[in-house]
Amino acid sequence: MTERTFHLPDVGEGLTEADIVQWKVQTGDTVAVNDVIVEIETAKSLVELPSPYAGTVSALLVEEGQTVDVGTPIISVTAGSPAQESGQQPGAPMTPAPVPAAADDDGQPSASLTGTGPKADAVKRRPRTGRTAPSPVSQPAPSGAAPSPAAPSPAAPSPAPNPGRSLDARTPAVAAAGAAVQDTLSRLIQRVLAKPPVRKAAKDLGINLAEVPATGAGGEVTKQDLISYQAQREAEQKSADTFWAGAQKPRDERIERIPVKGVRRATAKAMVDSAFSAPHVSIFVDVDASRTMEFVKRLKASRDFDGIKVSPLLILAKAVIWAAARNPSVNATWAGDEILVKHFMNLGIAAATPRGLMVPNIKDAQDLSLKELAMALNSLATTARAGKTPPADMSGGTLTITNIGALGIDTGTPIINPGEVAIVAFGTIKQKPWVVDGEVVPRWVTTLGGSFDHRVVDGDLSARFMADVASILEEPALLLD
């Protein structure tokens, strides 16, 4: 038996710590190499860690919710002897071990997680010390070994079972171990008896599938089960006490304490560092975006964009790339004794997620066609909302867009993302009176706000850049030049 300890790795670029969000295994569980054992939250994203070892979980060394440094031991796994690993009794002929079933291509977990299939059968057949019940069938002893006093001789009759005493009641340790295994199997079954779309919908809604009454075949949670459960939950929430009901509690219980960790803590530090290290200057411009709205409408009706979500943000993203090519110094980094002008655009898009503000970026956005950029924006938003943005997509940004207009806000003064020198805030687009050829007419108008690091981008450069962005929103046909 060999006990191996898994230390928290650096899953990003120079990360120093992470929060333990949820253990996917418990002490006594059997794991294989690459089985997911824990979900952690870094300063950039949620990450699922696979097990580098196969064996039995002997100890969870860190509790959920705890923040630990990279290199800290978090779990111990005990690897059994070769005979035990293959499911053989000592001295018995070796037989090939069953091959664990892999996950289906559509993301459906393997049958082993539901308590069926080759892997589950292998787990059930795996011998465990102190858990093997005496068999009424005699087993031949290994050559040269003394007969076991517990095993009856071939001629001896089997003892009559005691109907008043269950197997698990014979030994407290056996009963406890049996209950633990049953609990583990039940938990796994509850977790996986649902199709991938149902599991994704449950995760987006913040619903634990184990709490949803299942009506599907074999105890499967169906889409209708999830809809019914959500409707019931919403009805209960409407009848629940309001937020201010806590005012009747004792004074020391009227304050809710929310730990600052993970993405929120990293964002707070980055914004403070940026606000007090880079001299910000902000400018604003009103834009007649009526032609942009018409262009978006045509794109939505185009066959080439069938099934692709298109919004004015797509045109703004293209406009920022175009304007940065005309004003390269806005796509740069202040490095103290030099300015690093980037000849590539990793376009960051600020995204509000349940875990806080995240700014993933689209790599080499300058090389993407309008359709490819639309697909990249859709993928980025979907992944960010699910909290699955990989750390690599959170680093290396060169210029950022924040779409505050999605919340109905006209404009703002955004803080520059660290390592960059410019950020553009996209306000809401709504109809306003606008003067065209001396007449006041209703037009679709938006306000752009830009913040710049004045060490790199002076007033003239920032004004020219914002004017170029505005010109594309006013006339998207300029992108064809």
Please identify every residue annotated as catalytic. Answer: 454
- On whether the CB atoms of residues 20 and 68 are closer than 8 A, the answer is yes
Identify the burial level of 56 via C-beta atoms within 10 angstroms of its C-beta, where 0-12 means exposed, 13-18 middle and 19 or more buried: buried
The SS3 assignment for 356 reads strand
Burial tier of 309 (Cβ tally within 10 Å: 0-12, 13-18, 19+): middle
Residue 146 class from Cβ within 10 Å (0-12 exposed, 13-18 middle, 19+ buried)? exposed
Which residue is listed with tokens 């037989």? 95
- At position 457, the amino acid (one-letter code) is V
Contact between 184 and 190 under an 8 Å Cβ cutoff? The reply is: no
Helix axes 370-385, 312-326, angle to 10 degrees: 120
Contact assessment for residue 405 and residue 445, using Cβ atoms and an 8 Å cutoff: no
Q: Which long-range contacts (CB under 8 A, 24 or more apart) does 255-262 make?
A: 259/65, 261/19, 261/41, 261/67, 262/19, 262/41, 262/42, 262/43, 262/355, 262/356
Q: Provide CB contacts within 8 A for 276, sequence distance 6+.
A: none
Cα distance between residue 429 and residue 406, in whole Å: 9
Query: Residue 54: which residues within 8 A CB-CB, separation 6 or more?
Result: 31, 32, 33, 77, 79, 85
Tokens of 188: 């796994």
The DSSP output letter for 465 is: H
